[in-house]
Amino acid sequence: MAHSFISIKKFSEKPYSNILGYPKATDHQIKLRINELEKLKIKSISLTGPTTLGNLAILGKGYVGVVVIAKRGNKEVALKIRRTDSQRKNMKNESEFLKLVNFVKVGPKIIDVSKNFLVMEYLEGEKFSEWINSLKGTGSAKKLKSTIKSILEDCYRLDQIGFDHGELSNISKHVIVGKTKASIIDFESSSTKRKPSNVTSITQAFFIGSGISKKTQKIIKIPSKEKIIQALQLYKQDKSQKNFEQLLKNLKL
């Protein structure tokens, strides 16, 4: 889909400045942020996406920042803008997490970072909850199985490096499905200090007692809750490849 872009110079004016300095910023702060964007080679921003801020469309909004599509050179990128009321002093921590998960081929690729901005690869796709709703007819079970398996494999790689995403029980916000692959996004609540529970959290969200699990059950036949919990307990005791493969087998993936 082609996006229309607005020059970042326009973002010194309302209502656009509300995006750069959400929820509240002084003219001076906005000016500094525009200078910061110029240093990051961000030329323009596209106000499109499934979320709204005031009357403006954006890709997403969280505790730490607001995400929009931006243009860096001729390339479309995802730009995370630090909220002015965020408890995080800068975007450095999240950029380090992104580098770490990129190392095991998970998440959007990091491109650049500054105090108030994180520039990432733009992954075009739908939130998992919307994508699963659009699945219809022949081949939908096969599609769903391969998508779930690919996300579980990403989670297994995160578990292996001792990295915990932290919010994978909420799939709809943190998994997007594109034409060629599904991706885990948004690492702002992640940690390398907690015990990782990526595979466990996301398996429960896909298959046990959530709105998404009810949709999953309508499309594919899934094993009993007891059988899933048994396989998860085994995996939790020893996060080995053998136990992970056994979990996939139990889930008929």
pLDDT tens for each residue of 144-195: 999 999 999 999 999 999 999 999 999 988 999 998 899 999 999 999 999 9
Residue 107 in domain: yes
Domain membership flag for residue 137: yes
Region 15-33 average pLDDT: 96
What's the CATH code of the domain at 100? 3.30.200
- Residues 83, 136 share a domain: no
- Residue 82 lies inside a defined structural domain of this protein: yes
Kindly state whether residues 18 and 79 are assigned to the same domain. yes
Assess whether pLDDT exceeds 80 at residue 209.
no
Mean pLDDT of the 206-216 span:
90
Of the chain, the percentage scoring pLDDT greater than 90 comes to 93
Domain end call among 102, 121, 140: 121
| Same domain? 150 vs 231 | yes
Query: Residue 1 falls within a domain, yes or no?
Result: no
Question: Stretch 58-80: mean pLDDT, rounded?
Answer: 95
Q: Is 160 found in the same domain as 112?
A: no
Considering the domain architecture, whether residues 203 and 113 belong to the same structural domain is answered as: no
73 domain-assigned: yes
Query: Domain end: 121, 138, 173, which one?
Result: 121
Residues 51-61 pLDDT 10s: 999 999 999 99
Band of pLDDT at residue 3, cut at 50, 70 and 90: confident
pLDDT at 181: 92
Q: Final residue of a domain: which of 61, 91, 121?
A: 121
185 and 219 in a single domain? The answer is yes
- Quick one: 182 and 94 in the same domain? no
Query: What is the per-residue pLDDT for 97?
Result: 97
Q: Looking at the structure, tell me whether residues 29 and 82 fall in a common domain.
A: yes
206 and 143 in a single domain? The answer is yes
Give the count of domains, the chain. Answer: 2
C-beta separation of 127 from 173 below 8 A: yes
Considering the domain boundaries, does residue 114 fall inside one? Answer: yes
Instruction: Give every CB contact of residue 188 below 8 A, 6+ residues apart in sequence.
Output: 62, 63, 64, 65, 88, 94
User: Is residue 93 in some structural domain?
Assistant: yes
92 in the same domain as 56: yes
Same domain, 155 and 42: no
Tell me whether residue 66 is in a domain: yes
Position 210 scores a pLDDT of 76
Residues 45 and 95 in one domain: yes
pLDDT digits (tens, 9 = 90+) for 102-126: 999 999 999 999 999 999 999 999 9
In this prediction, residue 137 has a pLDDT band, given cuts at 50, 70 and 90, of confident
The domain in which residue 89 lies consists of 6-121
Residue 6's pLDDT band (cuts 50, 70, 90): very high
pLDDT at 1: 62
Specify whether the CB–CB gap between 232 and 203 falls below 8 A.
yes
The candidate with the shortest Cα–Cα distance to 155, out of 107, 226, 188, is 107
